[in-house]
Amino acid sequence: MLLVSEPSLGADEKAALAEVIDSNWITMGARVHAFEQAFADMHGAADAVAVSSCTAALHLALDAFDIGPGDEVLVPSLSFVATANSAVYCGAKPVFVDIQSLDRPLIDPADAAKKCSSRTRAVVVMHYGGMLCDPAAWRDFAGRNGLLLIEDSAHCVGPERGEIYGDVAAFSFYGNKNITTGEGGMVISHDPAVTERIRRKRGGGLTSGTYQRLGLRAGSYDVTTLGYNYRMTELNAAIGLRQLEKLPNWNRTRRHLMAEYSGAVARLCPEVTLPICDATQNPHIMAAVLPSNADRPAVMGGLHDDGVQTSMHYPAIHTLSWYRERYPGIRLPITEAFAKRELTLPLHPKMTPADVEHVLASLARHLGNQGETDDVA
C-alpha cells in the first residue's frame, strides 16, 4: 500500500536512541537543548522551545499572552482541530474564518476583518500544505487591529519557509509531518521575554529545570506562573536532531515529487487542480481538488483497491460535532466546498516518480469511470 505519508526512520535514529539510553539522562537534557538550538538556527531565530506536541505549542502561545475568558481568537476552520482547541483551552472563543479560494486554501484576511470585534485578541494563521500565509498582509492586519499573531506552522518547516513573522510560531513533529520525533513540537518567538515565559510554562512554571540545577549551587526553585507538563524527552530530541539534518534533502525530494504530480495531472486528469503546486518550496501534503460532480468516496475506494491510500485535509472544524453543537449556524462557503472536494494523495520522500504516475493513472481511471456506461472500455 502506498501511504499518504510515511516517516523516514533508520539506522541513524536507532543509534541516537541507543546513545540516550546509554547516557542514562532520559528527559529534558543536553539533547533537548541541542535540538532547540539547531531548530532555531535553521529558522533564523535566536532561540526555540521544544514541547510535547504542536497542540501544546499553540496552547502555550495563547496562554503566554493571558488569552482567556471573554476573548475571541480568529482561526481558520480548514485546519486540524488543535488550531481551534488551543483557544478553547484558554477559555476563549474561537471565531472561524473562511479561506481565500479553492486555489488558495488559506485563512482570508478580508473575512477575518469582517469577524474582528472589540473582543478579538489574536489571530492564528495556518500555512496549509506548506503555502505560507502572506507575511506582510498578516503583520499589517494584526498591527492595525492590535492583535497577537500566531503561526500554526505544522505544515511549513525548514529553511525554505523564510523568517518567522508572527509573535509566536508553532511546529509539529507528529509521525506524519515533514520531520518527526514520534510526538513533539517546537515554539519560536523573536521576543526573548515571550520565549522565557513559554519555556517556564512548559515545565510546571518552575524557574529552573532539573538539568539547569545540576550547574547551580542551590537546588531549589520558585514557581512564578501557572505551568503545565509539556516537556520533550531526550529520546524525542535525539531523533529530532537526526531528522533535522535530513530535512533540507527531504524537502527537495518533496519539491521534485510535487513537480511530477503537476506534470502528471496536466497529462492524465486536467479536470483536477493541485493548489499547493507552484505555491510553496516545502510542500507537506499533496492536496488535490476534484471536479464538483466527482463521487469522492467512490474515487477513494477505487484508489484503495489499486493500493493507494488517500485522506482528506480537513473536515472543516466548525462542522465537527463538538464544535457544531457549541457554535451552531456557522456557514463558511469556500471552506465547505473545499472540504467536500479535497482529496489528499500520497507525498513523502520515499516515493518515486513511478509512484506518482501510478497514483495519477489510478485517479484518472476512477474519475473517468464515473457516470460512464458499461459499454465504455
Ligand X SMILES: *Cc1c(COP(=O)(O)O)cnc(C)c1O
Q: Which residues contribute to the site for ligand X (CB under 6 A)? A: 53-55, 79-80, 82-83, 126, 152, 154-155, 172, 174, 185
In the complex with ligand X, the residue whose CB is nearer, 53 or 195, is 53
* Omega before residue 314 within 30° of 0, cis: yes
- CA distances from residue 12 to 239, 244, 266 in whole angstroms, order as listed: 8, 12, 39
Minimum CB distance to ligand X, residue 174 (Å): 4
Render the burial of 160-178: b for 16+ CB within 10 Å, e for the rest.
Answer: bbeebbbbbbbbbbbebbb
In the complex with ligand X, the residue whose CB is nearer, 16 or 131, is 131
Minimum CB distance to ligand X, residue 284 (Å): 8
Minimum CB distance to ligand X, residue 13 (Å): 18
Minimum CB distance to ligand X, residue 362 (Å): 26
Render the burial of 299-323: b for 16+ CB within 10 Å, e for the rest.
Answer: bbebbeebebbbbebbebbbbeeeb
177 catalytic per annotation: yes
Spatial separation of the C-alpha atoms in residues 13 and 155, rounded to whole Å: 22
Catalytic pick from 93, 177, 201, 246? 177
Q: Order of strands across the sheet with 49-51?
A: 49-51, 185-188, 168-172, 148-152, 120-126, 72-76, 93-97
Minimum CB distance to ligand X, residue 261 (Å): 20
In the complex with ligand X, the residue whose CB is nearer, 50 or 288, is 50
Q: For the chain, how big is the Rg over CA atoms in Å?
A: 22
The answer to whether residues 127 and 137 touch, using CB atoms and an 8 Å cutoff, is: no
In the complex with ligand X, the residue whose CB is nearer, 76 or 209, is 76
| Nine-digit cell string for 180 | 518527526
Closest to 152 measured CA to CA, from 65, 220, 231, 82: 82
Closest to 284 measured CA to CA, from 332, 324, 344, 230: 344
Minimum CB distance to ligand X, residue 149 (Å): 16
In the complex with ligand X, the residue whose CB is nearer, 94 or 302, is 94
In the complex with ligand X, the residue whose CB is nearer, 37 or 176, is 176
Relative to beta strand 49-51, strand 148-152 is unpaired
Catalytic residues: 177
